[in-house]
Amino acid sequence: MNRRDHLLATAPRVAAWPHHQEHLIVDWSSSQPLRREELPADPRVRLVRMEGETRWSLCRAYNFAFARARGDRLLKLDADAWPTAAFAPGDPSLDEPLCAFGSGPEGRKGQFLIDHALLEAVGGFNELLVGYGFDDKDLLARLHHWGGRQAAALPQAWLGVIPHSDAERAELGAGRGGLAASQGLAAMRATRLANRLVAAHCPWGPHTPRSRYLEERPGVWRLEAGSRPEPPAAVAAELEHVRRMTFWGYFLAIPEVFLEVLPFSLFPPARGGRWEVRGWHRLWWHTGRRLLALPVALLVAGRQGLVAGGRPEEGQRTAGPR
């Protein structure tokens, strides 16, 4: 969703990889729809479009793709990733049934190679999880519990990725400085913690009802009304509270004990996945938040000075007990 630049950069690299039979790309209601002519002239490319979605949903989008993939083995790749020439899917180190997740930095851990039947046996991604974070850990735990499989590791050299910031992952755009990066990290922390809670409250499995979709015309789909899974009302209220406290607490460096007593309207929950950061929030981030960070910076500097002062100079022997 709205990751055009990344996708157009990685799609030719996927097309150059000789080991796949189909490259299925899901355009999850991007504001500027992807066009087939923008993608490589590779007959294996199949582009489908989801209409009517107002926010990115990793778990629902990938489950939708898994259900429409034609292969017995699936290589799940984000828009910023591709398999390198070193990626050898026939490597004997990959056990049967096949289940291997990426390893290394810059988002490689979110990519995986898996038997389609094994993924279906555990129910795919948990569609109650929203935003970013914990979706892969939840899936790994269920693969171990339901599927009896401990995932292998895809070598770091097998996957290439385009490095990008937390602000871009949170759909805040790039190049907006420290405030956008802080907001993006706060949003990711909020959803990551809430997703841990919902996974504990509402375990997902192979028989859990998933979202259903209707094909409006060839290659264009839409969610069937009322089919999207939702947590129970009490759990949803707790999740909203956790997200709100985590986001504003991290973004503005205001402890929860104060957020609890300050007016609710000053720190509202996210609406449609978007946090309403107002002018005075930005002013506090640039002033009050930085003032609060000064004592911490002084403590860090003092600790570093003590550590440096306690080290013997080079060539000086430390006296031991006599």
Contact predicate 158/93, CB 8 Å: no
What are the Cα distances from residue 291, in Å, to 237, 262, 296?
A: 33, 20, 10
Cis peptide before 203 (omega within 30 of 0): no
User: Is residue 280 in a domain?
Assistant: no
Contact predicate 168/174, CB 8 Å: yes
pLDDT on residue 290: 86
User: Is residue 272 in a domain?
Assistant: no
Helix axes 233-252, 279-286, angle to 10 degrees: 50
pLDDT on residue 322: 43
Q: Locate 8 and state its tokens.
A: 């157009």
**In sequence order, which residues have a C-beta less than 8 Å from that of residue 182 and are 6 or more positions away?**
250, 251, 285
User: Is residue 215 in a domain?
Assistant: no
Distance of CA 300 to the CA centre of its chain: 31
H-helix or E-strand containing 136? helix 135-145
pLDDT on residue 216: 97
What are the Cα distances from residue 8, in Å, to 81, 203, 226?
A: 11, 36, 34
User: Is residue 225 in a domain?
Assistant: no
Among 96, 109, 102, CA closest to 149: 96
User: Is residue 60 in a domain?
Assistant: yes
pLDDT on residue 148: 81
DSSP state at residue 45: E
DSSP state at residue 313: P
User: Is residue 288 in a domain?
Assistant: no
Q: Locate 318 and state its tokens.
A: 């430390």
pLDDT on residue 166: 56
Tell me the residue range of the domain where 55 lies. 4-170
Alpha-carbon gap, residue 151 to 181, rounded angstroms: 32
3-state secondary structure of 317: coil
Q: Locate 308 and state its tokens.
A: 């440096």
DSSP state at residue 176: -
pLDDT on residue 145: 87
Phi, then psi, of 258 in degrees rounded to 5: -90, -35
User: Is residue 112 in a domain?
Assistant: yes
Contact predicate 82/23, CB 8 Å: no
Q: What is the mean pLDDT of each run of 10 residues along the chain (322 residues)?
A: 95 96 97 96 97 95 97 95 89 76 88 95 96 92 86 93 69 63 91 95 95 97 97 95 96 93 94 91 92 82 71 50 44
Domain tally for the chain?
1
Q: What residues are paired with 100 via a beta bridge?
A: 113, 152
Residue 120: CATH number of its domain = 3.90.550.10
User: Is residue 70 in a domain?
Assistant: yes
